[in-house]
Structure 1
Amino acid sequence: MQFHWANPSIVEWCQHLLDSYAHWIKLELIDRTGTPLEQAERLFNSTFVVASHGPEADPILNYGNQAALSLWVMDWQQFTKTPSRLTAEPPNREERTRMLDQAKIQGYISNYRGVRISSIGERFLVDQAIIWNIHKPDGTKIGQGATFSNWKYLDPI
């Protein structure tokens, strides 16, 4: 079985994601011991949600750990083809865009709270999320990441 986190491009992405998190938050997201491959595996199997998207005008999700895939009820192929705006319902997308723009300007935001929706229509409230800019070592911005460990399912509309 091919583990997506073991793909060399994903291992490299995980390093940028983890390095950028440490740059902005001044803490490590996970234990950084071991090889980049071991770190990618540790990140993928973390109990908290980690997701990211690229720098496109309409950003596409490009990483989700197992917790994210489970929460959004998607497999890797489905998740990594999804425009990140679709993780929020239409009424919540404007607020989501404002939050992402604020993170772009500041480098990161913490204590974000917002409603998201899974691929099967389950709504959940995310609480105390951190969103940060992901960049290469030369400073080139290549996307944004998000992590959170607090969420609760909401009643259907």
Structure 2
Amino acid sequence: MISRIQQAQRLITSFQHWTGKPLIETPEALFEAPFVVVSHGTESDPIFNYANRQALDLWEMDWDTFTQLPSRYSAEPISQEERSRLLAQAKAQGYISDYRGVRISSTGKRFWIENVILWTVLDELDQPCGQAATFSSWKFI
């Protein structure tokens, strides 16, 4: 298992690779950023392997709980099919932007996420090792 810092660096590097834009400068800054960043691995039912503080607060979970959660559980069952389609599209293209959808916190609070960028996470050998998402706009419903 890789460290939180190593995963954060992969997210930063992969985001730059696909979008040509910087996400943030350092892994430490990523954890404290005012926007959400999450990622999951490549398991058959992908498990979250990173969440910054903003994501943990939004989903109302601690690090250990969040990083044991299959990522599909972050969306309501009705939204999972659309989520799966978009993840497949991001995997095929490297990234997609401007996604919008409903998510649900651990206590059942529903919220819209908007202007989401989804991208393929690359390891140090430029091999796909998961997917990530970032957004700075959400609204409770």
Q: What TM-score bracket applies, with the shorter chain setting the length?
A: over 0.9
Question: Which of the numbers 64, 76, 98 marks the counterpart of 1:89?
Answer: 76
Shift of 1:137: 3.3
Shift of 1:90: 0.6
- The letter of the residue matching 2:4 is I
Which letter does structure 2 place at the counterpart of 1:136? D
* 1:41 Cα deviation after fit: 1.5
Aligned residue identity for 2:67: T
Aligned length: 140
Separation in 2 of the partners of 1:11 and 1:115?
29
1:140 Cα deviation from its structure 2 partner: 1.2
Q: How far apart are the structure 1 equivalents of 2:5 and 2:53?
A: 15
1:37-85 superposed Cα distances (whole Å, 9 cap, x missing partner): xx22110000000000011110000100000000000000100000000
- Tell me the residue number matched to 2:39: 52
Cα offset, 1:110, TM superposition: 0.2
Structure 1 unaligned spans of 5+? 1-7, 33-38
Tell me which residue corresponds to 1:18: 12
- Cα drift, residue 11 of structure 1: 1.1
User: Structure 2-normalised TM-score?
Assistant: 0.97
Match for 1:78 among 47, 62, 65? 65
CA RMSD of superposed structures (Å): 0.9
Q: Match of 1:67?
A: 54
The alpha carbon displacement at 1:9 in A equals: 1.4
The within-5 A match list for 1:74-153 is 74-153=61-140
TM-score for both structures, normalised by structure 1: 0.87
Structure 1 residue runs of 4 or more that deviate by more than 4 Å after TM superposition: none
Q: Following TM superposition, by how much is the alpha carbon of 1:113 offset from its aligned partner in structure 2, in angstroms?
A: 0.3
Aligned partner of residue 143 in structure 1, secondary structure: strand
1:139 deviates by: 2.1
1:21-32 superposed matches below 5 A: 21-30=15-24, 32=25
**Larger Rg belongs to:** 1
